[in-house]
Amino acid sequence: MPRLLAIETATEACSVAIGDEGGIMEEFAVAANAHSTLLLPMLEEVLAASGWSLAQLDGIACGVGPGGFTGVRIGVSTAQGLAMAAGLPVFPVSSLRALAMGAPQAQVLAALDARRGEVYAATFLHAAAALPERLGGERVCAPELVSWPGGGPCWGVGSGWQVYHAVWEAALGGRLLGWDGAVFPHAADVLRLALPAAQRGEGMDAVLLEPHYIRPSQPEEQRP
């Protein structure tokens, strides 16, 4: 039974979880721009509470985005550093997929506000007692350009819905049963999503772990 540590920092929320199939404990806080301050104390807290050391773990899972550039970078670099120091594999997890874990309906429309008039968006099928599986790709675009794949009743989650719900309510009509813009991806769900890969021994070398930004940062876009 693999034991994992998990980190998720792609949004205003910062969270750390530790556990296995038998149970998961999590530290979670919504505090924009405070990830660098919160993350290490949270890590120390869950390790102390579990009674496990890094050496007793089987890997580190990390939400790799998409999301805020600074938050994603902090989470990925921390996971990478811990894994390299302890000689552990890493398990990258989509932050949108972790977000979809918190939805009550089988078809989940996950969207995060990407600023600059855009959203990060993806559609997931989340059947009972199963992990959410993505329909189509993850994308970044203007809200009116989002094309949600699939059909039938659906539920929206994420900060993108808080800002652009009127656009999608008009486009989806009666298909949309509701939405919750206050849902964030959680490290506990990152851990749950990583467990099957850990059970199969499909961890990645920590050196290869990279953020999944989808779009380039503003400095990258401004390069000649």
Homologous superfamily (CATH) for 4-95+185-222: ATPase, nucleotide binding domain (3.30.420.40)
Q: What is the pTM of this model?
A: 0.95
pLDDT tens string 9-41: 999 999 999 999 999 999 999 998 999 999 999
Q: What share of the chain is helix, strand, coil (3-state, %, to 5)?
A: 40, 30, 35
pLDDT > 70? residue 219: no
Q: What percent of the chain has pLDDT over 90?
A: 88
Domain residue spans in the chain?
A: 4-95+185-222, 103-180
d(CA 212, CA 46): 26
